Structure 1
Amino acid sequence: MTGSQVLPLRPMTVGELLDAAASLLRAWWKPMLAEAFFLALIEQIGMTALRMTSIPTGTDSFLYLTMQSSSFSWLWMWIGLSTETVIITLLGASAARAARSTLLGEPTGTWRALWRSPVPWGRVLGFIAIVAPIASIAAAMCGLPWLVVYAFTGLIVPVMVLENTRFGEAVGRGLKLAGRGGMRAAGVRMLGYLSWALVRLSIFCAAFSAADRIAEFAPLLRDNFWIMLGVIYLAVNTMGYAMMACLDAVTLIETRIRYEGLDIALNAARRAGVPPDLSPPRIVYGPIGGPHG
């Protein structure tokens, strides 16, 4: 695959952005899914232990008992949203690195090709140390403020990796790009997460319904319901986390193409036979005050 086949160098619709994110994940599925699986496994070990200590198994109705335990449901949501912020942000660095290698026309799909592209881990981890408590506080406020934090912080780590900008500049630029065009990038990230959340909610309700139905003739599954649910979530979250991270990287590239002419710069570099420059565009103001790229 060439870069243009994986990542179309043109403005895209929301549906095309999702397709491009899926194409990026397919091109780099081995390292991306391996990293997502490892992080999701740690998360589900902790979440399964929390569920097992909160609400015992072997009850007549898991769904009814869970709905009655609103404090535990809130605790699950709070911890889950907080850990998802960290996981997707970490994977965003790898997704941006994969997108960078793809744009530069490097071989795709291997660990060696992915890790060849440098990542400013100090800046990435520094940002996680800041955004994690903010997201945790927002998640504790019934989840809605968390969605706003999630929507506007998705491009910051991809900016750090793709453009190799300084910490403060990357944070400001990521927030600015998320708000460009009527908050288009922020809206795309929110839409992607909500779509994935609906899939997980459907699986959640189906698992509870199945547990109630099989309780009479499958006591083994009933008694190990939280483990079974953890395994299901592990599979779903592995794919979902990787997809969300790839969507962030693709959204950054598409936003730069739409508003900064990144496609023009990349095509010009290829025609000239020089390495593409992915750094932020520099605006120079002329004598009459007008901006010149």
Structure 2
Amino acid sequence: MTDTPGWVSPGSSPSDPEDGRAPASAPAAPESPRPEGGAGTSAAPADATAPAPAPAASAAPPYAGAYGQPGAQVPPQQGFAPPPGWGRPPHQQQVGWGQPGWSQPGWGQPGWQPQWGSQPLTPKPGVIPLRPLGVGEILDGAITTSRKHWRTVLPLSLGVAVLTQGTSVAIQWYAQSNDTPGLAAVLLLGVGFLISAVASLVMSALLTMVVSKAILGEPVTAGAAWRAARPQFWRLLGLSLLIALICVGIVVLGLLPALIIGLASDNTSAAAATAVLGLLVAGLVATWMYVRLSLATPALMLEKQGIKAALARSRKLTRDSWWRIFGISVLGVVLTAIIAGLIAAPFTIGAGVASNPFAQLNDPNQPVTLSFLALLLTGVGGVLGATITVPVRAGINVLLYVDQRIRREALDLELARAAGLPEYGGTGWAGQPGQPPTGAA
């Protein structure tokens, strides 16, 4: 990935001639035929009175006629011809059909089966193949990134999860311990929300850089990811606030007619019906707008653009692909929520047992309260679930951005060059032992 949204078309390398023809830059063949015994110069005319020698039975027919003329015959290719795949790494060498080492039997021979639907190999220097991605490949790429780079990903998500869940547990415990929380509870809630939001932004910025390197197969540390993401952090903060204000503003506009009806008359039923209808319409519009702007964060971080340009890029990349992006995003949220729930389930059960749920049987009017141990168990379950699932969710968003650019802008060619694939203009083979891939995302 580069700093600019464009790409450079790969240079085409001339292929080796396989049919023995001269290359285009070679001089044209002479018009007159050349005898076999000649050395490139025209022979003297033969004596008309001399009898013509009888042709030998085993002699090859002369190559008569110029190249491209009727009756012309092309001489066989002379000199050493390298085998197919010569000069390539062993895993890239291919054996021609019918040659020794060909793994499949020839057409029509016993054991031959047609390979219906077979596709050519796609370069895959990192966690995804460099081509338009399917739904399963996007989900698998996000999970593979967390698994391969867990030393960088998990500490980041663990730190953010501890801050978020710790603040939530502290707020709940304070609210239970005080009947009238007052201003202190509101301030604590605001501070906790601010800490969680900032920590989530930092993690989103770092995970975006980690996924961009994982696509190229390059290792990345938390320090390197922070150095790459730090110049864009304040823009990311402004972008996140702007998207949140846009979505909240749409919801407020949807509830505005109900508020006007409630203030102008005492008809509460009409105001309630208008509020429900306005909230439904506003929710749909806010969801549509959020999906249209969902790729602005990776565009801002990876293309090093401003807030306005990132919003424009997101609208361009999501055009005519809204339903696909919406469906994959919802699928990712549902899957990560299920995984987080399964991880937190034992701790939730333990919290229920620690809160003494049978105490309310003696006094039904007694409010259900959670002990500090129950809150602590709930927080631990939430921390573990978020540590595992939040990186996957962030990876899905980045891979959706990459997939849309591959489909619309042929970003796979640029990624292949950045990964060091020589057939795309890069240097070195990505993934080779002792040859780490070069280039920057």
TM-score normalised over the length of structure 2: 0.48
- Looking at structure 2, the residues matched to 243 and 117 of structure 1 have their Cα atoms a distance apart, in angstroms, of 20
Please state how far the C-alpha of 1:82 moved relative to its aligned partner: 9.7
Q: Per-residue displacement from partner, 1:131-167 (whole Å, max 9, x unpaired)?
A: 3445667899799667656544432111111122222
Please state how far the C-alpha of 1:43 moved relative to its aligned partner: 1.1
Q: Per-residue displacement from partner, 1:237-260 (whole Å, max 9, x unpaired)?
A: 122211111111122112211222
**Gap change, CA 1:175 and 1:164, over 3 Å in 2:** same
> What corresponds to 2:221 in structure 1?
110
> What corresponds to 1:245 in structure 2?
394
Q: For this pair of structures, how many residues does the alignment match?
A: 255
Q: Which moved more, 1:179-188 or 1:7-16?
A: 179-188
- Is the 1:6–1:102 Cα contact (8 Å) retained in structure 2? yes
- Looking at structure 1, the residues matched to 319 and 197 of structure 2 have their Cα atoms a distance apart, in angstroms, of 19
- Is the 2:127–2:145 Cα contact (8 Å) retained in structure 1? yes
Q: Secondary structure at the match of 1:224?
A: helix
Q: Per-residue displacement from partner, 1:80-105 (whole Å, max 9, x unpaired)?
A: 99988765554332122123334556
- Is the 1:48–1:230 Cα contact (8 Å) retained in structure 2? yes
Q: Per-residue displacement from partner, 1:1-50 (whole Å, max 9, x unpaired)?
A: x9723232112221111110112222332222222222221211221123
- Is the 1:30–1:109 Cα contact (8 Å) retained in structure 2? no
Q: Per-residue displacement from partner, 1:110-142 (whole Å, max 9, x unpaired)?
A: 234434535412211211232344566789979
Which structure shows the bigger proportion of residues in helix conformation? 1
**Gap change, CA 1:84 and 1:17, over 3 Å in 2:** farther
Larger RCO, structures 1/2 (Cα 8 Å, 6+ apart)? 1
Matched, 1:197 2:309: no
Match of 1:96 among 190, 199, 208: 208
**Gap change, CA 1:139 and 1:50, over 3 Å in 2:** farther
> What corresponds to 1:37 in structure 2?
158
- Looking at structure 1, the residues matched to 173 and 340 of structure 2 have their Cα atoms a distance apart, in angstroms, of 19
- Looking at structure 1, the residues matched to 439 and 221 of structure 2 have their Cα atoms a distance apart, in angstroms, of 22
5 Å-filtered alignment, 1:41-120, equals: 41-54=162-175, 89-103=201-215, 106=218, 108-119=219-230, 120=232
> What corresponds to 1:6 in structure 2?
127
Q: Secondary structure at the match of 1:6?
A: coil
**Gap change, CA 1:211 and 1:37, over 3 Å in 2:** closer
RMSD (Å), alpha carbons: 4.1
- Looking at structure 2, the residues matched to 255 and 22 of structure 1 have their Cα atoms a distance apart, in angstroms, of 19
- Is the 1:21–1:250 Cα contact (8 Å) retained in structure 2? yes
- Looking at structure 2, the residues matched to 17 and 96 of structure 1 have their Cα atoms a distance apart, in angstroms, of 14
**Gap change, CA 1:183 and 1:82, over 3 Å in 2:** farther
**Gap change, CA 1:102 and 1:162, over 3 Å in 2:** same
Match of 1:126 among 227, 238, 242: 238
Q: Per-residue displacement from partner, 1:34-70 (whole Å, max 9, x unpaired)?
A: 22222221211221123334557xxxxxxxxxxxxxx
- Is the 1:82–1:132 Cα contact (8 Å) retained in structure 2? no
Matched, 1:264 2:413: yes
**Gap change, CA 1:150 and 1:192, over 3 Å in 2:** farther
5 Å-filtered alignment, 1:140-159, equals: 151-159=291-299
The residue type equivalent to 2:299 in the other structure is V
The residue type equivalent to 1:95 in the other structure is L
- Is the 2:298–2:398 Cα contact (8 Å) retained in structure 1? yes
Of the two, which has the highest radius of gyration?
2
The residue type equivalent to 1:30 in the other structure is R
**Gap change, CA 1:82 and 1:114, over 3 Å in 2:** closer
- Looking at structure 1, the residues matched to 249 and 300 of structure 2 have their Cα atoms a distance apart, in angstroms, of 24
> What corresponds to 1:22 in structure 2?
143
Q: Secondary structure at the match of 1:122?
A: helix
Q: Secondary structure at the match of 1:171?
A: helix
**Gap change, CA 1:34 and 1:148, over 3 Å in 2:** farther
Matched, 1:174 2:314: yes
Matched, 1:186 2:326: yes
Q: Which moved more, 1:125-134 or 1:227-236?
A: 125-134
TM-score normalised over the length of structure 1: 0.68
Q: Secondary structure at the match of 1:117?
A: helix
**Gap change, CA 1:242 and 1:103, over 3 Å in 2:** closer
Unaligned runs of 5+ in 2: 1-122, 178-188, 253-278, 360-369, 428-437
Q: Which moved more, 1:46-55 or 1:17-26?
A: 46-55
- Is the 1:124–1:160 Cα contact (8 Å) retained in structure 2? yes
